[in-house]
Structure formats: C-alpha cells, structure tokens
Structure 1
Amino acid sequence: MVQWPRAHVAQKADVSEDDLLAFETGAGTLDADADLRLQKVLESGGAVFLPEDEDGGVGVRLKFTAKDVRALDRMENEGGAYGSDDV
C-alpha cells in the first residue's frame, strides 16, 4: 500500500524478508513485537490502521490522497542540490 520494496520494509521493521513474505501471504505469523514494529514502519509511510467499530471492521487506508502525495513529491524535489550548512 505504501509502495515500498519488501526489503526496505523488512529492514526498517527489523524482520527477515522471508518472514515478511510469509506474513504477507498468510503462510506465517509475526510475534507481537515484530507486528508492532511493522505497523509503525507502515504508519511512517502513510498507512493508517483502522480499528473495528460499529460502522465496520478493521482496515487500512492511506493517510494522504493521491493528490496530496503528488504535491508532497513535488515539494520534496524542489530543494535543489544540498550542501553543508556549516559556514
């Protein structure tokens, strides 16, 4: 959903790529700590985890709309070359 490569997510969540693949495909589970780390990583990428409530079941959606993401991408690329701030 956040469009990050599995290797990137696995590294940031401190889980193996094989364990993450097994989790994604339903062939394996993660322990509670790894599950929480994975959620935090995905939230940092813009995923929002929705709890079950009277209006519906659990779910995941993106924090930003596609229009917002395009605007953020545009702003992130406007800075030009970077350099040291030490004067």
Structure 2
Amino acid sequence: MAISGAQCRAGRALAELSRDMLAKLAKVDAMAIEHFERKLGKPDAATVDAIGAALEAAGIVFIPENGGGVGVRLKFTASEAKRIATLENEGGNVGLDDVQQ
C-alpha cells in the first residue's frame, strides 16, 4: 500500500520519530521525507516503500481507505496490551473529581 505524506507525518508523530531518525531507519534522505510530508514533491515508489516499511517496523499500522478515510494507528502487541491493562488497573479506587460543572 502506498502511503501519503500526511500518513507519514502522523506515523512519525505516533512513533515519536524525528525526520532524521526516520531517514536513518529508512535509509533515505531526510529532505525527501520533508518534501513528501509537505507535498513539495513525491519521491519515487522505492523511497515511499522504504519510508513505509521503516514506520511499520517502528510499530505504525497504516489504515487503507475503507469508507472512513485513510489513517494510521500505533500497533500494540498482545503483551504490551496486557501490560497497559495492568498499569491502568493499578491506581486503586476511583474517586470523584472535584471539578464542578
């Protein structure tokens, strides 16, 4: 699946990668990534594929057009999801917020 510049930008944000970090992972020029994200030109298919593969290796899942629009999300493994659930339940009893409406 070919990704868009917007998906690249969003994926980088979710994975907390700078352009330079992504460029190193994808073995492409950081300026190519910047131009791609800012719609200043479209890199060749091999560059887009390398960028997409690097983001996927960093845990990004690209969501294709499915009637709701294209997008990205951060992938969690089963063990990571279990750890998150455990951490979310460690807070003890839930109290009332002191925020008044």
TM-score by length of 1: 0.66
Query: d(CA) in 2 for partners of 1:18 and 1:52?
Result: 27
Structure 2 equivalent of residue 22 of structure 1: 35
Q: Residue type of the partner of 2:75?
A: K
Identity of aligned residues (%): 37
Structure 2 equivalent of residue 76 of structure 1: none
Point out where structure 1 has 5 or more consecutive residues left out of the alignment: 73-87
Point out where structure 2 has 5 or more consecutive residues left out of the alignment: 1-13, 85-101
Q: Residue type of the partner of 1:29?
A: K
Q: Residue type of the partner of 1:22?
A: H
* Larger CA Rg, structure 1 vs 2: 2
Give the count of matched residue pairs.
68
Match 2:57 to one of 37, 44, 48: 44
Match 2:71 to one of 52, 56, 59: 59
Look up the SS of the partner of 1:20 in the other structure.
helix
Following superposition, which runs of at least 4 residues in structure 1 exceed 4 angstroms of deviation? none
Structure 2 equivalent of residue 3 of structure 1: 16
Higher relative contact order (CA 8 A, sep 6+): 2
